[in-house]
Amino acid sequence: MTQFEKLLNQVYAAWLGKLIGIRLGAPVENWTFEQIRDTYGKLDGYPVDYGVFASDDDANGPLFFVKAVERYGKNVTAEQMGETLLSVASVGHGFFWWGGIGVSTEDTAYHNLLKGIKAPTSGSIEVNGKIMAEQIGGQIFSDCWGYVSAGNAQLASDLAAKMSSVTHDGDGIEGGKFVAACIALAFKETDARTVIEKALAYLNPESDYVKCVLDVISMKDAGMSMEECRSIIFEKYSYANYPGVCHIIPNTAIMIMAMIYGDNDFSKTLTMLCECGWDTDCTCGNVGSIMGALVGIEGIDEKWIKPIDDLLISSSSIGSRNLDTVSETALYFASLAAKLNDIEIDEKYRRMIESKETISFFDLPYGNQGFQTKENRYSSVQLKTNQKSLKCIVAQGFPNKTGKIYKKTYFVPSEVYDARYQPSMSPRLYPGETVSFVLSNPHELPMKFQIYAMDVNHNMYVGEWFEAKAQKQEVSWRIDCPKDVLLCEFGLNLLYEQRIMHDFFLIHEVRTDHVFNVEIHWKDQCMEDWGLDFGEIPWKEVRQCTTLKNRSSITEKGLWIEGDGIMFSDVRAELVSAEVEVEFEGEIDIMLRAEDFRHYLGVRISKDAISFVKRDGENTDVLREFGEKKINQGKNTLNFSVKNGLINVEINHLYHYETETSLTEMKKGAFGVVCDENSRCLLYGCKLESI
């Protein structure tokens, strides 16, 4: 195993441990020990079978905050960390708990940033008060800094301190440093107590946080049983003694207890912790990370891993980033760790990271890339990762009957169990894309295969049937379907020509190329109902979009946007042309290539001017003014194309503007529209083409 492969496996185990802890604790979040005991008894698995689970704030933070080092490097500042938060979270919905200014620490700090209060002042005790600054959020989002440190606890601690300071202060920062340092140390250590004690070296020894950790350790050293220790914690570190919604100290006390009494056993540690109650998804998430790094994938029982099915649904402001896999995101974390720590990335993984395509790989245990099977009485297929491939075990297949292996590329609300954190997404697959499977059929099973895609209305689009050879072969199919359909899955149809039992074939690699040609007629879309959020308020979002302020809606004419931003299409694609039918008032930005709502290249249109603009955080630069106004106040057709370093703008097929521009700094990006606070527009339709 190469150095990078070892790193990837360590990061994967830690990240998987985090997601397991979240899924374990989410059903009983804010329950008491007595309520959990009386309802579920002793936990031995997940208390609720979530099925498809939309991850909460505990996963959103690590997954998206780490973009700060991707953009700014290891010397990133706290101010740049604050800019990252504004870039990845929408205003007032999704991502984390929006409990209100003065109630939710993150909500308060986010609005400080919007008002121009830079980090670290945005999260400081001076501005927000000690109670607000020392709630639990500073530590629940800090796992990522352990992942990208590659075992460098000082680096992990330093990065965590900067990010935690965006929203927290005091012990809120100490907790972030502690969790990040523990994960980094767990990459090299084998004992949880050793990890805890070494991590304390990176903290302020006079802090209440350190005093709490040492106090719990002293109980163990005094010979107390776990039950005695827990009883004292419940009394001494009760929520009643620590004001605020969810203070960091009580939850840290039970985290330490579980780790020092858990005998370095992943299951024992997490179930012991979850049974204590309080902020269970946060505590179990952090400890899951630490224990996952400590014991590795081999030390995690598959009963925790299999229900996750390698699937990760998030709720950032970037719709096409909100549907991913644990495997892909683990590779993302590991690649950043390699860059920050000068570790060579193997050629295979470098190809995956740098490719224009999305390449699904099966190197990681249980890493099935979200592929599933559709069982019926005539077809039974199980999927298992095996020697860097996906082993498709045909337990039962009857002649002239069919089965299928598929992957979801879009979820509608009815398919997702829990949506408290308001997930919304853009599809991961579009009309015109090419799907490629690399297969082998070692025992030459008598069966045929067919690549297919399916839309949200369950219409199926299929390629030609083919036979798989014993040796590896690649089969590709360009999705042939109407340009205006919303695709929700793709995969392989299976046709058994003879009875097959107890045998298998292999999938080695799957690719999608992000080269599409799509049309969206907005009046035909809908508002998707995701149920109730934390405030028991119904949450609806525009289908296949993410919004900045949730002020957009589908009407009988089209998509209405008022003082809002809306993003759709795939941030991984390289758009070369777009056609938009729009009616507007005020000033709007057409984002031709957007990383997020605060980083994009596009065209600004107002009643007085047409300009090519670049937004980078707070700053928007006008790179070139195209010329005099030629736009009606009524319906307009705007055409944009990017070729050979030139951007072309055509208005109503009459007026044409062209200017040189360099898009090398942002070759890829999503499409969208941003209206400033006093502007509004109606989108009738759009056509997008990528290469």
- Rounded CA-CA distance 11/5 in Å is 10
Question: Residue 458: which residues within 8 A CB-CB, separation 6 or more?
Answer: none
Distance of CA 464 to the CA centre of its chain: 34
pLDDT of residue 238: 96
Render pLDDT for 646-675 as a digit per residue (tens, 0 to 9). 788 888 887 677 776 655 567 899 999 999
- Rounded CA-CA distance 201/203 in Å is 6
Render pLDDT for 361-386 as a digit per residue (tens, 0 to 9). 999 999 999 999 988 999 999 999 99
| φ, ψ at 362 (rounded to 5°) | -130, 35
Question: Under a CB-based contact definition with an 8 Å cutoff, are residues 626 and 611 in contact?
Answer: yes
Q: How many angstroms separate the first and last alpha carbons of the chain? A: 36
Q: How many CA atoms lie within 13 A of 55 on its CB side?
A: 32
Residue reference for tokens 């339709």:
685
Question: Under a CB-based contact definition with an 8 Å cutoff, are residues 268 and 262 in contact?
Answer: yes
Give yes or no for residue 298 having a pLDDT over 60.
yes
Burial environment of residue 591 by CB neighbours within 10 A (0 to 12, 13 to 18, 19 or more): buried
| Segment 167-189 mean pLDDT | 98
Token pair for 542:
């525009």
In the predicted model, what is the mean pLDDT of the chain? 94
Token pair for 485:
């359909």
pLDDT of residue 538: 82
- Rounded CA-CA distance 567/575 in Å is 14
Res. 626 pLDDT band, cuts 50 70 90: confident
- Rounded CA-CA distance 236/227 in Å is 14
Residue reference for tokens 């007085």:
608
277: left (phi over 0), alpha (psi -120 to 50) or beta: left
Token pair for 489:
């899955």
- CA-wise closest residue to 645 among 594, 686, 601: 601
Residue reference for tokens 């109630």:
103
- CA-wise closest residue to 314 among 180, 460, 426, 448: 426
Res. 630 pLDDT band, cuts 50 70 90: low
**3-class DSSP assignment, residue 526:** coil
170: left (phi over 0), alpha (psi -120 to 50) or beta: left
Render pLDDT for 313-362 as a digit per residue (tens, 0 to 9). 999 999 999 999 999 999 999 999 999 999 999 999 999 999 999 999 99
Residues 280-319 as b/e (b if ≥16 CB within 10 A, e otherwise) read bbbbbbbbbbbbbbbbbbeebeeebbebbbbbbbbbbbbb
**3-class DSSP assignment, residue 110:** helix
Residue reference for tokens 């440093």:
177
- Rounded CA-CA distance 22/94 in Å is 17
Q: How many CA atoms lie within 13 A of 8 on its CB side?
A: 24
Give yes or no for residue 643 having a pLDDT over 90.
no
pLDDT of residue 663: 55
pLDDT of residue 660: 67
Which residue would you say has higher pLDDT here, 583 or 632?
A: 583
Q: At what angle are helices 192-199 and 280-295 packed, to 10 degrees?
A: 110
| φ, ψ at 79 (rounded to 5°) | -60, -40
